[in-house]
């Protein structure tokens, strides 16, 4: 497809501060010259992208299709010889877990509200035959400073799977990746539900269920679903019940997004009133390390 050079992003936006940087992209703040509205622009360096067609036909096509209040919106796309530019809704609160680490404490009630938002967003995606495949703390952005409202972001590994179709592509970040992806088995929408189970566990405990300094031992723990609940903080039986139905080795027996949304804990019942006071050292250590990625092919 020929590039339309007549439409230059710099004719429409003034670029500002760098908001974040990855291996093949930079996210910058940008102001619309006509309306003065501020957005985030993800600048993808084409020379660093192994499969440019996949980015255009999957990530961008999916983001154009997705319209939900709990998912970061794609407003426009530009392209030149060197870059593809995604103009995105600006979410200023930062990453969810970073906010929790900074606060040093939170309540199970707050964890319930956050979990419900994640589940609502994923239920919407799954109803539209879209799997995210890279749900993790870095891809959950806070709208405000109190981490009470989130947006699901980054559709780099997302894919459309129609009519109960499955795939075998290995991708994601190991701490959050379902065992069937790691082992190379066929999988579908339920892979996202495993990732949500890991995220909820981390929200409730301040650590990850399958973390280990030895990567092979961590993979073995994931495959065998070997994890324990710490004695402190004391997590409610209802919350544990939900996670136990998400971290299930057999994908067919894992809760769907709709089932999880109907769970009493997500609905605000049987929720502990205790506030969790913890340093989140384990969680912060993992966040500060580069998560080992399983590259999509």
**Residues annotated as catalytic (active site), given as ranges:** 134
Question: Number of helices (H) and strands (E), helices first, in the chain?
Answer: 10, 13
φ, ψ of residue 118 to 5 degrees: the values are: -60, -45
Kindly report the number of other CB atoms within 10 A of residue 268's CB atom: 11
The CA distance from 10 to 7, in Å, is 9
The CA distance from 107 to 272, in Å, is 8
Ramachandran assignment for 191, one of left (phi > 0), alpha (psi -120 to 50 degrees), beta (any other): alpha
Q: How far is CA 211 from CA 72, 103, 145, 245, 287, in A?
A: 29, 23, 28, 19, 12
User: In a 10 Å sphere around its CB, with 0-12 CB exposed, 13-18 middle and 19+ buried, how is residue 295 labelled?
Assistant: exposed
The CA distance from 287 to 278, in Å, is 16
């Amino acid at each position: 497809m020929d590039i339309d050079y007549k439409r230059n992003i710099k004719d429409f936006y003034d670029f500002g501060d760098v908001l974040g940087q990855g291996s093949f992209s930079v996210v910058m703040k940008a102001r619309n010259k006509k309306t003065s509205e501020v957005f985030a622009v993800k600048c993808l360096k084409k020379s660093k992208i192994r499969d440019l067609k996949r980015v255009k036909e999957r990530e961008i096509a999916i983001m154009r299709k997705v319209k939900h209040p709990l998912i970061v919106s794609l407003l426009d796309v530009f392209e030149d010889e060197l870059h593809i530019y995604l103009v995105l809704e600006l979410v200023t609160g930062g990453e969810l877990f970073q906010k929790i680490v900074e606060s040093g404490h939170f309540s199970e009630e707050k964890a319930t509200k956050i979990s419900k938002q994640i589940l609502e967003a994923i239920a919407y995606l799954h109803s539209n035959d879209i799997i995210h495949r890279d749900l993790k703390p870095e891809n959950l952005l806070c709208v405000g400073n109190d981490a009470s409202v989130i947006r699901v972001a980054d559709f780099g590994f997302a894919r459309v799977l129609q009519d109960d179709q499955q795939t075998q592509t290995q991708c994601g970040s190991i701490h959050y990746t379902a065992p069937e992806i790691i082992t190379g088995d066929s999988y579908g929408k339920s892979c996202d539900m495993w990732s949500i189970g890991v995220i909820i566990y981390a929200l409730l405990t301040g650590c990850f269920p399958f973390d280990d300094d030895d990567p092979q031992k961590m993979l073995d723990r994931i495959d065998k679903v070997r994890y324990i609940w710490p004695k402190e903080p004391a997590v409610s039986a209802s919350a544990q019940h939900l996670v136990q139905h998400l971290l299930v080795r057999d994908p067919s027996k894992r809760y769907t997004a709709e089932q999880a949304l109907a769970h009493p804990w997500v609905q605000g019942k049987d929720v502990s009133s205790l506030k969790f006071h913890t340093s989140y050292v384990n969680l912060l250590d993992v966040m500060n390390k580069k998560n080992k990625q399983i590259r999509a092919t």
